[in-house]
């Protein structure tokens, strides 16, 4: 059996054949019957390897069961690679040795063990320096193995290929030029390994060459001179600019330090700070355009290399002016006070204006606040100088003090302004006359005032000041009835208090009209006056005086009437006069006592006593009546008269009378007419009485009473005492009415003669009849008062 096994059959196939590919016809090559292969259970036994082949028992062919990879079967890099197998047959047993040579194909590309190779080469390395590179490997053998290397294009590097004793290819990188890191810091090269197969296969690796820096470049600024603008008054910390110097080196050789050089002034270094690491320039101090318009800085940038290199530049900082300075006003000359009578155009002050800013920020305008209301103007005299002048007349009494606000404003954005206040006092001149509060004063004074009584206080006003407003009051002299006004009134020269120097009597003086002047103390003095009208007011200070029927002091008036008197017969008429006026002189009459109230009546207004019935035989022959005459004043004053009425059977002579011839005073036409009229009326009344007496035959005929011519002429020629004072006093003091005097004449005529009863008037009682229009009457005054009647 072993003998049969000694024969070896060899086949050669390329690797990587597809499954089912034909290798050889074993039945033919081994001389076996194809039909016996199944019967003899032919099988294939691969020695020390995986079963890559199989026998097709139907055809006797040796076919590929699985792809064969030569590199996985033959690990060693040899030129020949065999796969040994045995074909075993049974019945009888027979073994055939088969060797299958696996032929290499170029199915593997060269592969570098390191896909990327890093090299650090100093830029100072001289050309020709060699650097070993990692070789590529190829699993194929023979011609399919690595044949050569290629390097990507580079002007600085090339390769040198070496062949080892085993035929392997080795490659070195050779520096062919001077390196400059600043120009080319990193070189990326591609190394390609190519085998000798057809078609050839290749593999690549990346070579990254880092050029190591040396400090061969000085720092450089982008420009040698920088110009930058910065606003004045910029806040501390404001970034002016950032310097950016560059150094083509790297690492510490490129790390820069910024600093001022010795050419930079200390003042500049105080205003600006320089960051040594970043090159940032910031504001550190106060920037004032008015002090410095620009700053110059010399700066260097130095690297940190072993042998440091440096670069330089100059930075010029221009300061931009801001409107940060307020304009200023300076008063060069000033008049702090002016008299109010200064002329228009008078110089008050010289003012200068300035502003430290420049351009529009330094242009200023000077104005007056409330210019339209002030009597002043500004006139520009020269550049930066103004004159303040009086433009309107001044009046201290309108405005005595001016606070003039000068406002200066620049033309900056926003504009700044400054105010300066000038205080100007206006001095007074005596240009205003004093004036009373009213031009006409009416003062009512009640009569019987005490001497020295304050009547009123007159006040005048003078708007001037000091002595120009000090006023003196005095009464302008005027004589009244040979009496000076200063004897009646007095005025306080300092305050204008007006006093009465005497006691006034309404029944004598009714009013006074005079002038009061006030004068200031200026130079020259100015004055004005007012009119004062003093009106004396009546007081109820006079008691009514009963003038009819007349009776002696304290005596009883007796009246005789016939008992045959009819109802309504006028028995008597009580007439009372009152020297007061108006209400105080209105007299009313009342019966205070009466014997028989049914027999007589009294008219309260005219004082007539009349019978209310005819006498009877029961009535007493004598009746007593007490009549009171009372005025209308407050309090009321009164006078009484007692009348005793006797009744007779026939007419009897009238009661005794006391004749009082009237003194001749003044005879006027009016009095003449009145006397003639009264005489005619009396004559008619006398005739009427005579007729009535004749008709009553039971009574004796009374004798006719005739008025002697002499007496009649005396009556006619006698006139009442008339006061020659003003008509106002005469009219207002007219107490006796026409009816009174008419009644008086009727009563006296009945008694047979015209007489005027002399009333009992105390000497100096102050009573006088100022006017008796239609009759004659009593007149008696004191000597002192007679002079006032004119």
Q: Residue 134 in contact with residue 112, Cβ under 8 Å?
A: yes
Residue 303's domain comprises: 220-320
SS3 state at 184: coil
Based on the fold, state whether residues 411 and 483 are members of the same structural domain: no
Residue 1 is encoded by which pair of tokens?
A: 């059996």
C-beta atoms surrounding 436 within 10 Å: 21
User: What is the DSSP code string of 562-577?
Assistant: ETTPPTT-EEEE-EEE
Spatial CA neighbour of 95 closest among 144, 23, 42: 42
Based on the fold, state whether residues 141 and 192 are members of the same structural domain: yes
Q: Residue 348 in contact with residue 376, Cβ under 8 Å?
A: yes
SS3 state at 39: helix
Based on the fold, state whether residues 451 and 505 are members of the same structural domain: yes
Based on the fold, state whether residues 96 and 117 are members of the same structural domain: no
The residue behind tokens 């130095």 is 302
Q: Residue 669: what pLDDT?
A: 62
Based on the fold, state whether residues 251 and 279 are members of the same structural domain: yes
Q: Which residues of the chain have pLDDT under 50?
A: 1-6, 651-667, 699-790
Based on the fold, state whether residues 448 and 530 are members of the same structural domain: yes
List the Cα angle 300/303/307 in 5-degree steps. Answer: 115
Q: Which residues pair with 440 in a beta bridge?
A: 531
Return all residues near 354 (Cβ < 8 A) that are at least 6 apart.
327, 328, 330, 364, 384
Q: Residue 435: what pLDDT?
A: 93
Structural domain includes residue 549 = yes
d(CA 289, CA 704): 138
Based on the fold, state whether residues 644 and 549 are members of the same structural domain: yes
Q: Residue 507: what pLDDT?
A: 85
Q: Does the bond joining 45 to the residue before it have cis omega, within 30 degrees of 0?
A: no
Indicate which CATH number applies to the domain containing 481.
Answer: 2.60.40.60
Q: Residue 753 in contact with residue 707, Cβ under 8 Å?
A: yes
Based on the fold, state whether residues 490 and 525 are members of the same structural domain: yes
Structural domain includes residue 679 = no
SS3 state at 595: coil
Domain end position, chosen among 143, 178, 212: 212
Domain end position, chosen among 588, 622, 648: 648
Residue 173 is encoded by which pair of tokens?
A: 């990188």
Structural domain includes residue 623 = yes
Based on the fold, state whether residues 315 and 349 are members of the same structural domain: no
Sequence-separated contacts (24+) of 620-625 with Cβ below 8 Å: 620/595, 620/596, 621/563, 621/646, 621/647, 621/648, 622/595, 622/646, 622/647, 623/594, 623/595, 623/596, 623/599, 623/647, 624/593, 624/594, 624/595, 625/591, 625/593, 625/594, 625/595, 625/600
Q: Residue 753 in contact with residue 759, Cβ under 8 Å?
A: no
Backbone angles phi, psi at 514, to 5 degrees: -150, 175
Q: Residue 718: what pLDDT?
A: 30
Structural domain includes residue 622 = yes
Q: Residue 246: what pLDDT?
A: 92
Based on the fold, state whether residues 316 and 337 are members of the same structural domain: no
Q: Residue 240: what pLDDT?
A: 94
* Number of separate domains in the chain: 6
Q: Residue 760: what pLDDT?
A: 35
Based on the fold, state whether residues 359 and 414 are members of the same structural domain: yes
User: Using alpha carbons only, how large is the chain's radius of gyration in Å?
Assistant: 81
**Tens-digit pLDDT profile for residues 324-355:** 888 999 999 999 999 999 999 999 999 999 98
Q: Which residues pair with 403 in a beta bridge?
A: 423
SS3 state at 370: coil
Structural domain includes residue 671 = no
The residue behind tokens 């008050």 is 348
Q: Residue 47: what pLDDT?
A: 67
**Tens-digit pLDDT profile for residues 50-79:** 778 888 888 888 888 888 888 778 877 777
Structural domain includes residue 668 = no
Based on the fold, state whether residues 73 and 157 are members of the same structural domain: no
Max Cα distance, the chain (Å): 244
SS3 state at 112: strand
Structural domain includes residue 660 = no
Domain end position, chosen among 386, 403, 427: 427
Structural domain includes residue 719 = no
């Amino acid at each position: 059996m072993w003998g049969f096994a000694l024969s070896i059959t060899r086949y050669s196939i390329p690797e990587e054949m597809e499954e089912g590919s034909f290798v050889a016809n074993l039945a033919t090559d081994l001389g076996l019957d194809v039909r016996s292969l199944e019967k003899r259970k032919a099988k294939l036994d691969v020695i020390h390897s995986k079963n890559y082949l199989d026998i097709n028992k139907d055809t006797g062919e040796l076919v590929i069961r699985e792809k064969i990879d030569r590199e996985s079967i033959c690990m060693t890099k040899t030129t020949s690679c065999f796969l040994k197998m045995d074909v075993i047959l049974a019945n009888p047993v027979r073994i055939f040795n088969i060797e299958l040579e696996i032929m290499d194909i170029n199915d593997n590309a060269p592969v570098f063990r390191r896909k990327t190779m890093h090299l650090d080469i100093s830029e100072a390395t001289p050309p020709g320096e060699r650097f070993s590179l990692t070789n590529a490997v190829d699993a194929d053998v023979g011609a399919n193995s690595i044949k050569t290397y290629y390097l990507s294009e580079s002007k600085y590097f090339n390769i040198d290929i070496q062949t080892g004793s085993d035929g392997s290819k080795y490659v070195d990188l050779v520096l062919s030029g001077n390196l400059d890191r600043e120009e080319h810091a990193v070189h990326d090269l591609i190394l390609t390994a190519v085998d000798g197969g057809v078609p050839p296969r290749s593999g690549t690796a990346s070579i990254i060459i880092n050029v190591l820096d040396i400090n061969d470049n000085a720092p450089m600024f982008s420009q040698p001179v920088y110009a930058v603008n910065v606003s004045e008054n910029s806040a501390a910390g404001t970034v002016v600019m950032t310097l950016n110097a560059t150094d083509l080196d790297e690492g510490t050789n490129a790390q820069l330090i910024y600093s001022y050089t010795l050419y930079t002034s200390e003042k500049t270094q105080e205003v600006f700070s320089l960051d040594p690491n970043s090159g940032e320039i910031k504001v550190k101090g106060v920037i004032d355009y008015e002090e410095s318009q620009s700053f110059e800085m010399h700066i260097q940038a130095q690297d940190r290399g072993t042998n440091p290199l440096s670069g330089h530049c100059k930075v010029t900082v221009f300061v931009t002016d801001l409107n940060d300075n307020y304009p200023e006003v300076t008063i060069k000359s000033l008049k702090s006070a002016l008299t109010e009578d200064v002329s228009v155009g008078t110089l008050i002050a010289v003012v200068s204006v300035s502003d430290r800013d420049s351009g529009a920020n330094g242009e200023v305008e000077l104005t007056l606040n409330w210019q339209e209301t002030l009597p002043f103007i500004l006139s520009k005299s020269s550049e930066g100088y103004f004159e303040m002048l009086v433009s309107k007349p001044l009046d201290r009494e309108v405005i005595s003090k001016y606070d003039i606000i000068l406002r200066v404003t620049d033309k900056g954005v926003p504009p700044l302004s400054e105010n300066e206040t000038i205080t100007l006092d206006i001095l007074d001149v005596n240009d205003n006359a004093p004036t009373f509060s009213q031009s006409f004063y009416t003062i009512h004074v009640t009569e019987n005032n005490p001497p020295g009584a304050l009547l009123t206080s007159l006040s005048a006003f003078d708007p001037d000041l000091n002595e120009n407003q000090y006023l003196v009051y005095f009464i302008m002299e005027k004589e009244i009835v040979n009496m000076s006004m200063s004897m009646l009134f007095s005025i306080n020269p300092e305050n204008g208090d007006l006093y009465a120097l005497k006691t006034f009597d309404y029944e004598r003086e009714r009013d006074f009209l005079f002038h009061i002047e006030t004068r200031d103390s200026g130079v020259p003095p100015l004055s004005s006056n007012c009119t004062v009208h003093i009106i004396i007011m009546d007081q109820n200070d006079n008691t009514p005086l009963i003038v009819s029927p007349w009776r002696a002091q304290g005596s009883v008036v007796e009246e005789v009437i016939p008992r045959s008197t009819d109802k309504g017969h006028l028995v008597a008429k009580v007439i009372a006069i009152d020297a007061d006026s108006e209400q105080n002189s209105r007299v009313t009459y009342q019966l205070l006592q009466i014997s028989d109230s049914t027999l007589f009546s009294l008219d309260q207004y005219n004082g007539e006593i009349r019978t209310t019935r005819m006498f009877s035989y029961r009535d007493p022959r004598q009746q007593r009546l007490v009549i009171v005459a009372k005025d209308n004043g407050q309090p009321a004053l009164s006078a009484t008269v007692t009348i005793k009425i006797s009744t007779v059977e026939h007419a009897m002579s009238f009661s005794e009378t006391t004749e009082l011839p009237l003194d001749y005073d003044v005879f006027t036409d009016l009095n003449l007419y009145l006397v003639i009229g009264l005489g005619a009326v009396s004559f008619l009344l006398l005739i009427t009485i005579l007729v009535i007496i004749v008709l009553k035959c039971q009574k004796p005929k009374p004798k006719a009473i005739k008025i002697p011519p002499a007496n009649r002429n005396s009556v006619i020629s006698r006139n009442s005492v008339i006061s020659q004072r003003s008509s106002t006093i005469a009219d207002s003091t007219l107490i006796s009415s026409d009816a009174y005097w008419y009644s008086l004449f009727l009563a006296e005529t009945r008694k047979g003669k015209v007489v005027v009863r002399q009333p009992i008037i105390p000497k100096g009682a102050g009573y006088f009849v100022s006017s008796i229009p239609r009759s004659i009457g009593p007149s008696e005054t004191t000597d002192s008062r007679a002079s006032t009647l004119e």
